[in-house]
């Protein structure tokens, strides 16, 4: 007999060899009908895997993230089988689940796949799925696995297998299809009721641009057709809100091939938007005791070797800048923190002077692969709203909670109300990924968890998601389309103070090591603005939007009155402009709607006589003729309802 511990802490006794599906049936038939994946003692297993020892079992359904992962990975096998049947000679490589769906990378020596081919791939995949074929895992020897794929002429799978240890290799079979696979599948193909091929793209084998370019087939699947229909509707809405589309329409930013890929150019309206976001945070930071600093865009290579950033980003980043002096090399800075460490090191500190809070809107550079670049969300040069707090050990908890307060203020002022906090800790099984002592890591992780508890945050702990130098707390925000994004991060770091030999004189007159807190409520300004664009659909909060109102004179003879209205609005710090083009008012209104200007102020003869403005809100609401003073009060009230003081 074996003891199985369930997520609620209860322990049940079963005969050795029982499967997760049989455990589910022992709990309820309803649960058994919905279980599609399982985890035993921290490892993903099949629902038919025999359990031979005591352990902890978690059962997953479609509602669980892990259940969706198994579902989409299993569908990638179905689509791979469809591709094999439709495209003889295709060579399969890898087909993982991703955040929304899956992809499969394939080499098509004799064919290409375009959008017109999607329906036939979907039809073939659904035909296979309806066969209700069981997924079956089996162990194979290394020689057997190599022979299998050598006979197929699939050099990609051969390369993968050559890097595996004999005795750890498994194949997954369903129907007539076999694939090299570590496991993690749903019980059978019949659970998949709806499949959609979303797109195709190029992808280099193993992400190396020197290797063969493969065809990456993206798809998604669902257990019900209705869910696919809803998802596709959401995709259509997402296309309308795509920040690249809106950024162009609203004239916020652009890109230039001559300037370089992944290097955004901010147009006047976008630059003004960025400036307002910066000033908004600077004001809050000033109240919170931060001091602004400025650091250069480059630094000596040795600076980043000391910090560990060269080992992390050096090989995959921009190459060193050589100077006329022999052996002197500089790097475009990948992070601001090493510079801030050196600012702290510029003078000795006493414990009475701590904490020191240095803040900077600092631009950093990383050479992302061209295939990974995506509008503003993945760029090669981006500005971080970076700050680093240097404090004593007994100040860490309070400082961390203060940063949480600031981050919540930023998110709330910009309409991000639906979020969870993610505490990202190290993976103890891969210590080589991190720098610093285990003792310091434990202290840092406990500090973050304690602060999250103290602030009453709804938080989850994610193992293996920490930065290489310390654990962190990320705010995982759900946008208007229900998508999750990481916005804002706070990290506790014991390592960089050691690497840079940072000290302060304690009350005992001895030198001690400060603790460093990294924080960035926006994260990357570029990425934040992209997500804000998509979350709001371009309808920014009134306090932030570049043009809050547009004045539309009915005819040329009302332009002087329009200028009087503009001056009055500007005196009340309302951003407005006049559209004095020789166009109809109707056309001007339509264009103002497209430009998402919150208020259209129409001024004609009656308005001029009564000293009023006829106000129309974006979206069509007609507020009628009101005084400029009343309109000013309306704008002020709306701004104050979203932009609270910190």
Give the dihedral of Cα atoms 338, 343, 349, 352; nearest 10 deg: -90
- How would you write 47-72 as a 3-class SS string? CCCCECCCEEEEEECCCCHHHHHHHH
For tokens 């002087």, the residue is: 560
- Return d(Cα 249, Cα 333) in angstroms, integer: 32
Q: Measure Cα distances from 169 to 40, 96, 180, 436 in Å.
A: 19, 17, 8, 34
Q: How many CB atoms lie within 10 A of CB 296?
A: 9
Sign of CA dihedral 302, 303, 306, 309: negative
Query: Could you give the angle at the alpha carbon of 287 between the alpha carbons of 281 and 293, nearest 5°?
Result: 60
Task: Decide if 209 contacts 202 (C-beta within 8 A).
Answer: no
Q: How many CB atoms lie within 10 A of CB 185?
A: 26
Catalytic residue annotation: 337, 366, 384, 386, 388, 472, 518
Q: Nearest Cα to 368, choosing from 317, 301, 304?
A: 317
Give one word for 299, left, alpha or beta, with left for phi > 0 and alpha for psi -120 to 50: beta
- Return d(Cα 18, Cα 444) in angstroms, integer: 41
Chain Cα centroid distance, residue 29 = 38
Backbone angles phi, psi at 213, to 5 degrees: -85, 125
Task: Decide if 87 contacts 111 (C-beta within 8 A).
Answer: yes
| Beta-carbon-side half-sphere exposure of residue 323 (alpha carbons within 13 Å) | 10
Q: Nearest Cα to 68, choosing from 106, 92, 96, 40?
A: 96
Q: Nearest Cα to 616, choosing from 637, 631, 606, 605?
A: 631
First and final C-alpha spacing in the chain: 60
| Beta-carbon-side half-sphere exposure of residue 116 (alpha carbons within 13 Å) | 1
For tokens 């959609």, the residue is: 196
The DSSP symbol for 494 reads S
229 contact partners, CB below 8 Å, separation of at least 6: none
Query: Could you give the angle at the alpha carbon of 142 between the alpha carbons of 141 and 146, nearest 5°?
Result: 120
- Return d(Cα 330, Cα 530) in angstroms, integer: 31
| Beta strand segments in 170-254, E | 170-174, 177-180, 194-204, 213-222, 253-254
């Amino acid at each position: 007999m074996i003891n199985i511990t369930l997520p609620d802490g209860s322990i049940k006794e079963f005969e050795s060899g029982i499967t997760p599906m049989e455990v589910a049936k022992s709990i309820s038939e309803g649960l058994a009908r919905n279980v599609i994946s399982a985890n035993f003692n921290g490892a993903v297993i099949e629902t038919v895997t025999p359990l031979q020892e005591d352990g902890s079992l978690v059962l997953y359904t479609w509602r669980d993230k892990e259940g969706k992962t198994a579902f989409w990975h299993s569908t990638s096998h179905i689509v791979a089988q469809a591709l094999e049947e439709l495209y003889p000679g295709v060579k399969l490589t890898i087909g993982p689940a991703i955040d929304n769906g899956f992809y499969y990378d394939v080499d098509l020596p004799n064919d290409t796949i375009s959008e017109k081919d999607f329906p036939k791939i979907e039809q073939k995949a659904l035909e296979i799925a309806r066969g209700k074929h069981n997924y079956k895992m089996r162990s194979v020897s290394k020689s057997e696995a190599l022979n299998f794929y050598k006979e197929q002429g699939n050099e990609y799978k051969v390369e993968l297998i050559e890097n595996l240890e004999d005795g750890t290799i498994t194949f997954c079979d369903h129907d007539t299809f076999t694939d090299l696979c570590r496991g993690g599948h749903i019980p059978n193909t019949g659970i998949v009721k709806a499949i959609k091929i979303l797109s195709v793209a190029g992808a280099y084998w193993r992400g190396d641009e020197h290797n063969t370019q493969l065809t990456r087939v993206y798809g998604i699947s669902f257990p019900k057709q209705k869910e696919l229909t809803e998802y596709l509707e959401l995709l259509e809405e997402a296309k309308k809100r795509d920040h690249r589309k809106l950024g162009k329409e609203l004239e916020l930013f652009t890109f230039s091939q001559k300037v370089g890929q992944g290097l955004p150019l901010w147009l006047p309206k976008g630059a003004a938007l960025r400036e307002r976001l910066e000033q908004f945070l600077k004001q809050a930071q000033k109240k919170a005791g931060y001091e602004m600093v400025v650091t250069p865009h480059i630094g000596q290579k040795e600076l980043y070797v000391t910090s560990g950033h060269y080992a992390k980003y050096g090989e995959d980043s921009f190459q060193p800048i050589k100077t006329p002096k022999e052996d002197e090399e500089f790097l475009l800075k990948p992070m601001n923190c090493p510079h801030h460490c050196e600012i702290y090191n510029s003078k000795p500190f006493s414990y009475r002077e701590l904490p020191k809070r240095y803040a900077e809107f600092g631009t950093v550079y990383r050479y992302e692969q061209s295939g990974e670049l995506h509008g503003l969300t993945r760029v090669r040069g981006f500005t971080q709203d970076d700050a680093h707090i240097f404090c004593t050990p007994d100040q860490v908890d309070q400082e961390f909670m203060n940063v949480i307060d600031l981050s919540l203020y930023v998110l709330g002022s910009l309409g991000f109300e639906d979020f969870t906090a993610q505490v990202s800790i190290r993976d103890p099984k891969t210590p080589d990924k991190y720098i610093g002592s285990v003792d310091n890591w434990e202290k840092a992780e406990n500090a973050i968890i304690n602060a999250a508890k103290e602030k009453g945050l709804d938080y989850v702990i994610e193992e293996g998601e920490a930065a290489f130098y310390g654990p962190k707390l990320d705010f995982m925000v759900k946008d208007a389309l229900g998508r999750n994004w990481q916005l804002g991060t706070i990290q506790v770091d014991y390592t960089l103070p050691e690497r840079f030999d940072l000290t302060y004189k304690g009350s005992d007159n001895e030198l001690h090591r400060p603790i460093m807190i990294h924080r960035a409520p926006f994260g990357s300004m570029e990425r934040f603005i992209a997500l804000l664009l998509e979350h709001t659909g371009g309808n920014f909060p009134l306090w932030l939007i570049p043009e809050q109102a547009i004045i539309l004179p009915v005819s040329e003879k009302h332009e002087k009155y329009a200028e009087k209205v503009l001056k009055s609005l500007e005196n009340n710090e309302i951003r407005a402009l006049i559209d004095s083009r020789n166009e109809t008012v109707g056309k001007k209104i339509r264009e103002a709607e497209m430009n998402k200007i919150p208020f259209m102020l129409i001024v004609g003869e009656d308005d001029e006589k009564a000293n009023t403005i006829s106000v129309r809100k974006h979206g069509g609401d007609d507020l009628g003729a009101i005084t400029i003073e009343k309109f000013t009060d309306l704008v002020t009230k709306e701004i104050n309802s979203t932009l609270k003081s910190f």
